[in-house]
Amino acid sequence: MGVNSNRVEHVSCLETTVTISSAEVGVMPPPMQIHKVCLPPKLTTLQKLKHRLTEIFFPDDPLYRCKNQTWFNKLIICLQFFFPIFQWGSEYNVSLLKSDVIAGLTIASLAIPQGISYAKLANLPPIVGLYSSFVPPLIYSILGSSRHLAVGPVSIASLVMGSMLSEAVSPTEDQILYLRLAFTATFFAGLFQASLGLLRLGFIIDFLSKATLVGFMAGAAVIVSLQQLKGLLGIAHFTSKMQIIPVVSSVISTKDEWSWQTIVMGFGFLFFLLTARHISNRNPKLFWVSAAAPLTSVILSTLIVFLLKSKIHGIPIIGHLPKGLNPPSLNMLYLSGPHLAVAIKTGIVTGILSLTVMDGNKEMMAIGVMNIAGTCSSCYVTTGSFSRSAVSYNAGAQTAVSNIVMASAVLVTLLFLMPLFYYTPNVILAAIIITAVIGLIDYQAALKLWKVDKLDFMACFCSFFGVLFISVPLGLAIAVAVSVFKILLHVTRPNTLILGNIRGTQIYQNLSRYREASRIPSFLILAVESPIYFANSTYLQERILRWVREEEEWVKENNGSALKCVILDMTAVTAIDTSGIDTLCEIKKMLEKRSLKLVLANPVGSVTEKLDQSEITESFGPYGIYLSVGEAVAHTSSLWKAQP
């Protein structure tokens, strides 16, 4: 097969190594081996679409374990996929159970006070926090695939739900409506999560980059902590707003409501909790210190208030909590009316935030189903908790049975221990919340972002201050916008590099980075480090022509040999669109006006295909596209020698 066909051959080109003979090309180049650039295997539009959709939705090939299996095995595998309990259940034994019981009880001691506290954060009755620590863990233990994930209410989702719903409805004046909206939001959160998982759209969550989350979490933690000043200082009339400015001014303007008894008790226990946390952080083996501290604080503070109740006043207490299991709540869903939109919005935002801990579409489905089920049993949004999962891991949880044990402990509490919380002071809940959220401020991660990637730091910074000064959902939106802008900026202004040859090799590298790389006389070798798109095609055209101009000036100043050929190394041009193709043609024309030849080296599969489809391969002729920069240089030079 010769080189007489201008169009690039399809993959059927078996003998791509071509020895050029004089007869075929008219001139007399020395015989030399060059490799043809092949097209990728030809696919129909439908096949391409199928491939593309598979890559978008099933990158992990979830059915791979079903290959070459009998239908019975396939059924088992499917069952195990949707109910992981069938996977580990059959191998469960007493030794595993022992570990799980210890871990389960440890996280229960943390989950009970946190559940009550987080419900208050969401402006919900404390008991809803306990309900939410009972049903969802049971459901997750059947559906979930993580061994250490401790499920229940979490601070961020509680804060966001509280902040978004209380903008629409006052949680104190219209308690029932607020509760209904909370359940409805939970329902939509679950529906959204399950749909994301089912439609395999989990990757949408990836758009919340780690940098964004670091800033967001820290901002939310600051907001939550400031909100707790209400409890810590014993303020009765507090702003319902979430931004830093109204909260701080509300704290200052209510100075006369501060209660010294509350302050002493609050800061005392806060100090105790933070110290316990510090000890556990220093030595992970002592994880139980911080795990036990909240329950200890609750018990101690309740005792203090109970014993001194005749002596001190002005410390607000939780008061009566109803005994008994989760009441059904499906009838409370608010599915039509003026507040439906805010419930859906809250559901989607808290749903997204709850998924940031998750990994993979399967887990999203489990969490979604868990939340939908929770809606029917008086639970609000739940997910895996960072802090409790860490405790669960340290306590040696082996399977999801640890979640069952924890739920059982909550069950006992709900059935028998509720009256004990009567004298628990609200201030202790504030201290527990602060201790929990302070761990979300990851200043070391922020420092690392600054060190490694200034733009990532920028996204982090924006989400932090956005949350602090504007609002939680808007802060998040700004941060996502910054992250997306970063991607677009990279695409809009890609790098272009001049390459030189490293002596004695076929390696071509950036001249400014590798001193031993040297220019090849008469050639300008440019690498474009980005797809060529509508968004950068004008820039690339300008930039490439500027490189050519500068090279020509350099040649003139240094009396080098005149520039004759520009090679574009297309290795990193991973895609091209129609604007990009037009730009390539335009550059080729403009270079030809200056009597310069444009040669492409190593276009990737999809680019080769598009060049071929738009028929510009032909305009490049048989010697316009090479497999590597090395072959382009060698063969072009040999052509010049043959035809000086």
Q: Find the shortest distance in angstroms from Cβ 353 to a second copy.
A: 16
Q: Find the shortest distance in angstroms from Cβ 512 to a second copy.
A: 6
- 606-608-611-615 Cα dihedral, nearest 10 degrees: -120
- CB-nearer residue toward a second copy: 195 or 606: 606
Evaluate whether 604 touches 573 at the Cβ level (below 8 Å).
yes
Sequence-ordered list of residues with C-beta below 8 angstroms from that of 539, at least 6 positions apart, any chain: 492, 493, 494
User: What DSSP state is assigned to residue 246?
Assistant: H
Evaluate whether 153 touches 186 at the Cβ level (below 8 Å).
no
- 3-state SS assignment for residue 138: helix
Helix (H) or strand (E) holding 30: none
Sequence-ordered list of residues with C-beta below 8 angstroms from that of 133, at least 6 positions apart, any chain: 111, 112, 115, 152, 153, 382, 406, 407, 410
Burial 372-408 (b: 16+ CB within 10 A, else e): bbbbbbbbbbbbbbbbbbbbbbbbebbbbbbbbbbbb
Q: Find the shortest distance in angstroms from Cβ 234 to a second copy.
A: 42
Q: Find the shortest distance in angstroms from Cβ 47 to a second copy.
A: 12
> CA angle at residue 171 from 167 to 174, to 5 degrees?
110
Bridge partner list, 569: 527, 601
568: left (phi over 0), alpha (psi -120 to 50) or beta: beta
Q: Find the shortest distance in angstroms from Cβ 363 to a second copy.
A: 12
Bridge partner list, 425: 317
Would you state the structure tokens that stand for residue 233, as one six-digit string? Answer: 């200082």
User: What DSSP state is assigned to residue 19?
Assistant: E
Q: Find the shortest distance in angstroms from Cβ 376 to a second copy.
A: 32
- CB-nearer residue toward a second copy: 8 or 270: 8
Cα-flanking dihedrals φ and ψ of residue 540, to 5°? -65, -40
Whats the size of the chain, residue-wise? Answer: 644
- CB-nearer residue toward a second copy: 100 or 456: 456
Strand 508-510 to 565-569 pairing? unpaired
Q: Find the shortest distance in angstroms from Cβ 483 to a second copy.
A: 6
Half-sphere exposure of 577 toward its Cβ, with a 13 Å CA cutoff? 10
Would you state the structure tokens that stand for residue 191, as one six-digit string? Answer: 């529906």
- CB-nearer residue toward a second copy: 200 or 230: 200
Start-to-end CA distance of the chain, whole Å, equals: 27
- CB-nearer residue toward a second copy: 288 or 514: 514
- CB-nearer residue toward a second copy: 109 or 212: 212
The candidate with the shortest Cα–Cα distance to 242, out of 469, 463, 431, is: 469
Q: Find the shortest distance in angstroms from Cβ 530 to a second copy.
A: 6
- CB-nearer residue toward a second copy: 234 or 500: 500
> What is the rounded CA–CA span in Å between residue 611 and residue 355?
41
Q: Find the shortest distance in angstroms from Cβ 294 to a second copy.
A: 31
Burial 566-577 (b: 16+ CB within 10 A, else e): bbbbbbebeebe
Would you state the structure tokens that stand for residue 210, as one six-digit string? Answer: 């780690």
> What is the rounded CA–CA span in Å between residue 277 and residue 387?
11
Please give the full DSSP string across 506-526, using - where no structure is assigned: S-EEETTT-TTEE--TTEEEE
- CB-nearer residue toward a second copy: 261 or 614: 614
Q: Find the shortest distance in angstroms from Cβ 146 to a second copy.
A: 16
Q: Find the shortest distance in angstroms from Cβ 23 to a second copy.
A: 24
Evaluate whether 472 touches 166 at the Cβ level (below 8 Å).
no
Q: Find the shortest distance in angstroms from Cβ 258 to a second copy.
A: 42
- CB-nearer residue toward a second copy: 56 or 303: 56
Q: Find the shortest distance in angstroms from Cβ 456 to a second copy.
A: 5
Please give the full DSSP string across 333-348, using - where no structure is assigned: ---SSTTHHHHHHHHH
- CB-nearer residue toward a second copy: 100 or 631: 631
Q: Find the shortest distance in angstroms from Cβ 544 to a second copy.
A: 10
> What is the rounded CA–CA span in Å between residue 82 and residue 449?
38
The candidate with the shortest Cα–Cα distance to 609, out of 569, 566, 575, 571, is: 575
